Structure 1
Amino acid sequence: MTFDFSKIKPKKRGDLPVDPVELFQNLKVYDSGINDLWLAQGDALRKWHENRTKPDVGIVLNTGAGKTLVGLLMAQSLVNETREKVLYACSSIQLVEQTREKASGYGLDVTTYFRSDFSNDLFTRGEAPCITTYQALFNGKSRFLNERLAAVIFDDAHAAEHLLRDHFSLRIARTEFSDVYAAVHALFKGYHDKTGKAGSYAELEDPRCHHLFLIPPFELHSQLGEMTRILREARLQQEKSTMFAWEHVRDHVDTCCIMISGDDITITPPFVPVRSLPYFNTGIRRVYLSATLSAPDAFARTFGCIPEEVIAPTTTAGECERLIVIPSRANLERDDIEMAKELIDRRK
């Protein structure tokens, strides 16, 4: 028996739905709780589809309004359009796994990446988005820094500021780098002696001291050569606790803030230079999913830009679903604690 393989052809790009609403309608949904798109979800998807070519778009939907489904449909829509690599960033591994489970219920194929491992090769083949963590995306040795990406979806964008700051902050723990800590502490002793802070600065010799000293930029510049030597000889690039942040700051110590406490030395830029990362290059589209976008100045500090388009459809989903119980404010504290446990057990 002979086979004519010439009749077997791969799907053309045009065969894959790009409109996210049409994409949803073509899915085989397994989640029994999903019957159709909610009104706000449909509004958000249609409005985004009209603005999909803009480099920065914000999507605001209440918690409980189906933001994850919206984000995953956008991610797969971008994959179908470009047939290139699209990332979906979450704030923790737990949320990566939770989002993967939801995608499975929606009938969407995805790749996950955490702990240096891809779950499958769909992402590398340009067939499905990759769900990963902010940590995997922004650490100084991220494998994605050299990937050719078409788009990045930032989930929970309102909570990203401290995550990005952490990855650009080099923390040299006193317990791990005692010699480095002692050398840097001694380097700036003369300055604090001259400025009348010799006593309080000397208290840093006790690890339990809670004082925090910010080294002025002019003093750092005057000691930059010696500071650079101390850091270079510490071989920070070889230790797991410092290698990732060191990759970001090693050539920019002179423009960083230096803070010394009883526990550690922190070297961090005054503004997180996210625009130095390829994810924010021209040609890569970015979508910011959030329950509430922060003030424009705070958003700009986090992502180095302000979205050209912010889509915030009106919805009551997720409202009036929160109960805050403060047993310590009630007379019958024990009864209230038991009541709270019962509520948590029976409800979300």
Structure 2
Amino acid sequence: MIDWDDVFGGNNEQPTNPREIFGLLDKAPRFEFLRDVQADILDGWYRDRARRDTVIKLDTGGGKTTSGLLMLQSCINEDVYPAVYLTPDKYLTEQVLSEAAALGVDATDDVDDPRIRAGSAIYVTNIFKLFNGRSIFGVGRRGVRLPIGAIIVDDAHACLATVASQFRIRLKSDHPAYGKVGELFDSALRGQSIAAATAIRANDPHDYLEVPFWDVRDKVDDLHAILHRYRETDELAFTYPFLADHLHLCRIVIGGSELEIDPLFPIPSMVPSFEAAKRRIYMSATLADDSVFVTHFGADPDTLSDPVTPDVANALGDRMILLPKEINRDIKREEIKQLVVDLAQDRNCVVIVPSKRAADEWRSVANQVLMGEQVSPGVARLRAGHVGLVVLVNRYDGVDLPQDACRVLVIDGLPEANSLIERVDNVVLGNGTVGLRRQIERIEQGMGRGVRSIDDHCVVLLLGARLTERLLSAEGKPLLSNATRTQIDIAQRLAAQSQGGSIDDVRDTMMLCLDQKKMWTNGSRKARASIRPDKSLRLDNTSVHLRNAFDSAWLDNDQRAAEIVHNEVQEATDPGLKAWLLVREAFHRHSFDPTAAQARLVKAREHNRQVLRPLVGVDYDALRRREIRQAEAAQAVLQRHLEAYDRIRFVDALVEDLQFRPDTSEQFEQGIEDAGRLIGLSCQRPEKRFGEGPDNLWHLFNDTFAVIECKNGVTSQNGISKKDLGQLQQSMTWFKGHYGGADATPVIIHPHSKAGPKASVSEGTRVMTPRGLKTFNKALCAFVRALASDESAVRNVERIAALLSEHHLQAEMILQHFTSDIN
């Protein structure tokens, strides 16, 4: 019997350098060599492999899976195991297992496989298996069931939403605990807004309110009792164990159709084996905010390394980004839609939309509309062959659509909030840097779905005026990765040279990429070769410090938590962010100084009236009458947008919001305020800011106002209901109580011009119907475009005044021209 170990030198020591490991594996022929980018990544990681938290940044298609498997095999060979490879979902788990088999690395998805604990195989599983209240790895006081030596979190950016949702209790209105929690906090909600609380009790899906944190603390024992009673239900079984001991550190938002209970941050330390892991490696594409590694995974910002990146970004595939409305603003949405339908006849086209409502606009022409559990099998069909036009609902990450699975990708509209709490925060933060960063990140993630390797290609169409406005803004563009920013620059230069082009011209341009014509591919390749990877982490100090504050509160040191947040308040300059931070400071301060906490809330409302109402100290601030000419006020608003094109983008986005559509009340009411300000009126949203009064209030001229109720989401066919007109009458009563002898015209924005059964119409009431709104929107666009056609006009108050009059936007003309009597 030949002793082959002796023949080959008797050296049984396992190599730890991933490059050496790769060379010794019995692998498939396609793994003949490591790519340069993979070698760069492996060398960079290996030099500093002992770090507890490491971020690997590698664009899609760069070979992350192979690199990750080699790193974990290196850890095993260095006796750092069990080794775990974590994916965003089951589908990608199967991909990793397939890759491991072809690479010659032992891997398994069977948690009971003894090779895992013995360090003989890598355990491949998904994020759901690690972070849930009954985790196979062990939870909380129950301790470690499966230890972790080294762990890869693949597509970490795609795992973020899952991590957050796994620490969130979400109960639909038909769950038995929903009603009991609602009753527990009913009086607290009424203290915030009687109108919204009443709508919530009536299960109106459009309304929601946050429960004041002091009420949560005061009633936390009762809340425990309710949730504990139903802890075995599906909705609570995998979340309640995470939060049972931490409800006092949670926010609660109750809506008409569901409620949410969310900790201020996820608590990954509730899975002790993840907390104790010696090596935690996060593999991700470039993010607009890398703070999530700290806030969601608990990485230590003081020891978190700069990212490991390749020397050059030459793993990027060929992606053509087009902005059709930047090429020609007169191209109609229906033309773009038909173009996508035509292209889908012989290739897969995928449309990502933010909501079910947005999906309905594509449903009649779509071959598939996918959401929730339908996504994985639907994506599998795309990867298997031609399907046609497929719509993904609110799925911007965690989906791989390589090669023919997706040749045309459409991002249609701004991403919407994933949760009620995000919706609450967006009202305060949405227009600031924090809200913008969240949206930009999700847009960029969505754009990455269609190009998954260096030899892949895809055309990306960006639709929606609001999306374009935010993406191309001076604040938004710097938040993009170097690669995407370069491709957006190309899209803008292409649009500039194609001004006035038709939809056929857009199609011809797309075909250059789709058919891989040299005039496109050569230039695209050169542009990609010039891109350099982002070499540093983008850590937002505020997010990091807020996480530190939460960790202090989790250790029962609320005073330290309040001090940390107070320092952030002092640094904040954006009014929305400052207000939001003041509320967070009050949250932590309440446990040891409730009086001071309420004072911080009063201060917060000085910066933004959308935050929680304190127990005392909130008075209504009457809308100030305009003291300058309407044209001068309009000029001040217009000049905030320095370039004419920025003004056009702004009004296009505004008109996009001012539409009769269900579930868009927030955007619509804000749009009515923004429209009023654009034409020089003083405006306010009393119900939103103060919890009472009309949706919108406009000061027109002298002592004359418009009291406006917005019902753009109404779907009833029975005219204007008694309830809606009654609400308008209540708002008029409120107005008289605050404005004395001033005159006001009651206005309701409604799809119908006739009063419904038993409805009473007050004298002088006006209605803006879809026809009137359409005319108003056209007037807004014509007004702004007329100013854009002559750059000097915006500096000429008399010219602005003349244009306001020409388009019937003078305060004295508006109601007469755009509204009518109710029949």
- TM interval, short-chain normalised: 0.7 to 0.9
In structure 2, the residue matched to 1:139 is 132
Matched, 1:71 2:68: yes
**What's the offset of the Cα at 1:285?**
0.9
**What's the offset of the Cα at 1:135?**
0.4
Flag the 1:194–1:329 CA change in 2: closer, same or farther, 3 A: closer
Alignment TM-score, normalising by the size of structure 2: 0.38
In structure 2, the residue matched to 1:344 is 404
**What's the offset of the Cα at 1:240?**
2.7
In structure 2, the residue matched to 1:91 is 88
| Conserved? CA contact 1:330–1:336, under 8 Å | no
| Conserved? CA contact 1:151–1:286, under 8 Å | yes
| Conserved? CA contact 1:160–1:302, under 8 Å | no
Matched, 1:193 2:190: yes
1:82-106 deviations in whole A, cap 9, x for unaligned?
1631111000000000110011111
**What's the offset of the Cα at 1:78?**
0.7
Q: Secondary structure at the match of 2:49?
A: coil
Flag the 1:125–1:231 CA change in 2: closer, same or farther, 3 A: same
Matched, 1:253 2:260: no
Q: How does 1:319-330 map to 2 (within 5 A)?
A: 319-323=316-320, 328-329=335-336
Letter in 2 for 1:26: L
Letter in 1 for 2:223: M
| Conserved? CA contact 1:189–1:198, under 8 Å | no
State the distance in 2 between where 1:267 and 1:311 align: 36
Letter in 1 for 2:253: M
**What's the offset of the Cα at 1:173?**
2.4
Letter in 1 for 2:14: L
Equivalent of 1:121, from 79, 102, 114? 114
In structure 2, the residue matched to 1:55 is 52
Q: Secondary structure at the match of 1:15?
A: coil
Q: Which range is displaced more, 132-141 or 261-270?
A: 261-270
Equivalent of 2:23, from 10, 25, 29? 25
Letter in 1 for 2:50: T
Q: Secondary structure at the match of 1:202?
A: helix
| Conserved? CA contact 1:56–1:309, under 8 Å | no
State the distance in 2 between where 1:80 and 1:153 align: 16
Matched, 1:301 2:361: no
In structure 2, the residue matched to 1:154 is 153
| Conserved? CA contact 2:268–2:275, under 8 Å | no
Letter in 1 for 2:187: G
In structure 1, the residue matched to 2:258 is 264
Flag the 1:190–1:282 CA change in 2: closer, same or farther, 3 A: closer
Equivalent of 2:235, from 241, 251, 254? 241
Matched, 1:231 2:224: no
Q: Secondary structure at the match of 1:28?
A: coil
In structure 2, the residue matched to 1:16 is 14
Flag the 1:167–1:142 CA change in 2: closer, same or farther, 3 A: same
| Conserved? CA contact 2:188–2:211, under 8 Å | no
Alignment TM-score, normalising by the size of structure 1: 0.85
Matched, 1:215 2:275: no
Flag the 1:294–1:79 CA change in 2: closer, same or farther, 3 A: farther
Flag the 1:88–1:183 CA change in 2: closer, same or farther, 3 A: same
State the distance in 2 between where 1:152 and 1:56 align: 10
Flag the 1:210–1:241 CA change in 2: closer, same or farther, 3 A: same
Equivalent pairs counted in the alignment come to 329
**What's the offset of the Cα at 1:186?**
1.4
| Conserved? CA contact 2:151–2:277, under 8 Å | no
State the distance in 2 between where 1:304 and 1:266 align: 22
1:252-309 deviations in whole A, cap 9, x for unaligned?
1111111111222211101112244324535621111112245243332122224224
Flag the 1:16–1:328 CA change in 2: closer, same or farther, 3 A: farther
Flag the 1:189–1:111 CA change in 2: closer, same or farther, 3 A: same
State the distance in 1 between where 2:147 and 2:271 align: 13
Equivalent of 1:274, from 237, 252, 268? 268
In structure 2, the residue matched to 1:34 is 31
Q: Secondary structure at the match of 1:265?
A: strand
Flag the 1:331–1:256 CA change in 2: closer, same or farther, 3 A: closer
Letter in 2 for 1:166: S
Q: Tell me, which stretches of 5 or more residues in structure 1 are unaligned?
A: none
In structure 1, the residue matched to 2:202 is 206
Q: Secondary structure at the match of 1:52?
A: coil
Flag the 1:143–1:194 CA change in 2: closer, same or farther, 3 A: closer
State the distance in 1 between where 2:156 and 2:308 align: 14
| Conserved? CA contact 2:167–2:243, under 8 Å | yes
- The higher radius of gyration belongs to 2
State the distance in 1 between where 2:11 and 2:194 align: 69
In structure 2, the residue matched to 1:290 is 284
State the distance in 2 between where 1:254 and 1:13 align: 58
**What's the offset of the Cα at 1:209?**
2.2
| Conserved? CA contact 2:150–2:278, under 8 Å | yes
1:308-334 deviations in whole A, cap 9, x for unaligned?
242111334442423568895287565
Flag the 1:25–1:76 CA change in 2: closer, same or farther, 3 A: same
Q: Secondary structure at the match of 1:29?
A: coil
State the distance in 2 between where 1:74 and 1:332 align: 45
1:158-190 deviations in whole A, cap 9, x for unaligned?
222211111111122222x23x22221112222
Q: Which range is displaced more, 310-319 or 336-345?
A: 336-345
State the distance in 2 between where 1:338 and 1:213 align: 46
Q: Secondary structure at the match of 1:152?
A: strand
Q: Which range is displaced more, 335-344 or 259-268?
A: 335-344
1:100-130 deviations in whole A, cap 9, x for unaligned?
00111111110114xxx55x43213221110
Letter in 2 for 1:152: I
State the distance in 2 between where 1:48 and 1:332 align: 46
Letter in 2 for 1:122: R
| Conserved? CA contact 2:137–2:271, under 8 Å | no
Q: Secondary structure at the match of 1:260?
A: strand
Letter in 1 for 2:308: I
| Conserved? CA contact 1:80–1:127, under 8 Å | no
| Conserved? CA contact 1:150–1:285, under 8 Å | yes
**What's the offset of the Cα at 1:73?**
0.3
Q: Secondary structure at the match of 1:281?
A: helix
Q: Which range is displaced more, 244-253 or 314-323?
A: 314-323
Letter in 2 for 1:41: Q
Flag the 1:23–1:280 CA change in 2: closer, same or farther, 3 A: same
Q: Tell me, which stretches of 5 or more residues in structure 2 are unaligned?
A: 139-143, 325-333, 349-385, 387-402, 408-455, 457-823
Letter in 2 for 1:336: L
State the distance in 1 between where 2:406 and 2:183 align: 58
Q: Secondary structure at the match of 1:122?
A: helix
Q: Secondary structure at the match of 1:303?
A: coil
